[in-house]
Amino acid sequence: MKLTDITLTVVGVPRHTGFVNKHIIVRLHTDEGVTGIGEMSDFSHLPRYAPDVKDLKRVLEQILVGKNPFDLALINKELLDNFPEAMYYYEKGSFIRNGVDNALYDLCGKYLGVSVADLLGGRYHEKIKVCYPIFRHRFMEEVEGNVNVVRQRFAEGFDVFRLYAGKNVEADEAFLAAVYKEFGSKVTIKSLDFSHLLDWKEAARVVKRLSNYPIELIESPAYQNDFDGLRHFRHKVDHPVSEHVWSTRQQFEMIKQEAVDIFNISPVFIGGLTSAKKAVAAADTAKKSCLLGTTQELSIGTAAMAHLGSTMTNLDYTSDPTGPELYVDDVVKDKVHYEDGWLTAPSRNVEGLGIELDETKMEQYSVPDLSWNDVTVHQLQDRTAGTK
């Protein structure tokens, strides 16, 4: 079997907040009529540049056409040579490699008649506990709206939440107070996610202030790649510390410096399922726990993470992939399934990712390119449709 062509379709799907996220849906075609699908998830992130999709297609054709899709190591090596790691969280090259790698696994699974989880080593979990994100407060008047999000999602079965914190600490504190007054122990705050906005000393001061409320762990409490800061923070606070993995060198430095307790691993940030599996294995060797992170993917990307998570023996903390619940719609026939705050692992009976595109939805949400138009920095940070 040989790869014969690649199709890249840009889609813009609105979130419930009104913010429109742009993704590239990947289709890999073969000479035997089997097609694999993948997702280059959420290009609507800083920095504000994006690839030219026509040029990207030409580059990927040179890398992929004529290759055997089962040559995963070879193809991923060539992808990495052309889209190298850059020690940056939202490196667009990682998004590109992720979408292609997802599609390769989907294609290989379909050809063999097995699930991606089986290709990755077999099922260990039947479901994955997930949390719903509460986006960052910039103003005190946003608190009640976020409490309403908790009410709504709690009624739908979500009982664990992740708070993006650090922009307005007074509002963060007011939110936590309101949630625990209303819900008590029925609701859990998985983490304060500082998203590298604060230096480690300021993050430690914020954690101390908010520690009157039960919080399971702290995420990204230092500037990006500040490994010394992460280590200092970890020794200063009692909470477990989590950080995303966005390159093999960055993960190596965190292991070497004993800077974290938990690795936040998401294929989109590390460049695909192949690279994510390596990061999971490195964490296991270092005796570190893992959780699944997210950039809030659509169902294709989330299904890939569900397959990966179902195979992980060191998935010890509540994970983040609830992207399909944040969007008003999707581009697949059947979205991934959540029940009582759990992401259901795809059945072992599915072939590949077990996801089928809805061509009507693909046409409905298709957009010409990845251009930014008049989106502002605050919209990018807060994932909202407007500014204040």
When the candidates are 3.30.70.1230, 3.30.460.20, 1.20.120.530, 3.20.20.120, the CATH number that belongs to 118-352 is 3.20.20.120
Q: Which residues contact 214 (CB under 8 A, 6 or more apart)?
A: 180, 188, 189
pLDDT tens across 330-383, in order?
999 999 999 999 999 988 899 999 999 999 999 999 999 998 888 877 777 777
pLDDT tens across 245-302, in order?
999 999 999 999 999 999 999 999 999 999 999 999 999 999 999 999 999 999 999 9
In CATH terms, the superfamily for domain 3-117+369-382 is Enolase-like, N-terminal domain (3.30.390.10)
Of the residues 164, 317, 327, 365, which is catalytic? 164
Parallel, antiparallel, or unpaired for β 127-129 and 342-344? Answer: antiparallel
Whether the predicted model's global pTM rises above the 0.85 cut: yes
The β-bridge partners of 315 are: 290
The position carrying tokens 């709206």 is: 145
Annotated binding residue at 205?
A: no
The DSSP H or E segment spanning 212 is none
Radius of gyration, CA atoms only, the chain: 20
Annotated binding residue at 244?
A: yes
- Surface-to-core class of residue 52, CB atoms within 10 Å of its CB (0-12 exposed, 13-18 middle, 19+ buried): exposed
> Can you give the residue ranges of every domain in the chain?
3-117+369-382, 118-352
Active site residue 90: yes
Beta carbons within 10 angstroms of residue 313's beta carbon: 11
pLDDT over 60 at 176, yes or no: yes
Annotated binding residue at 344?
A: no
DSSP state of 186: G
pLDDT tens across 65-102, in order?
999 999 999 999 999 999 999 999 899 999 999 999 99
Annotated binding residue at 180?
A: no
Active site residue 164: yes
Amino acid occupying residue 289: S
Domains 3-117+369-382 and 118-352 share a fold: no
pLDDT over 50 at 387, yes or no: no
For residue 145, name the pLDDT band (cuts at 50, 70, 90): very high
pLDDT over 60 at 132, yes or no: yes
SS3 207: helix
Annotated binding residue at 219?
A: yes
Please give the structure tokens belonging to residue 43: 């290009």
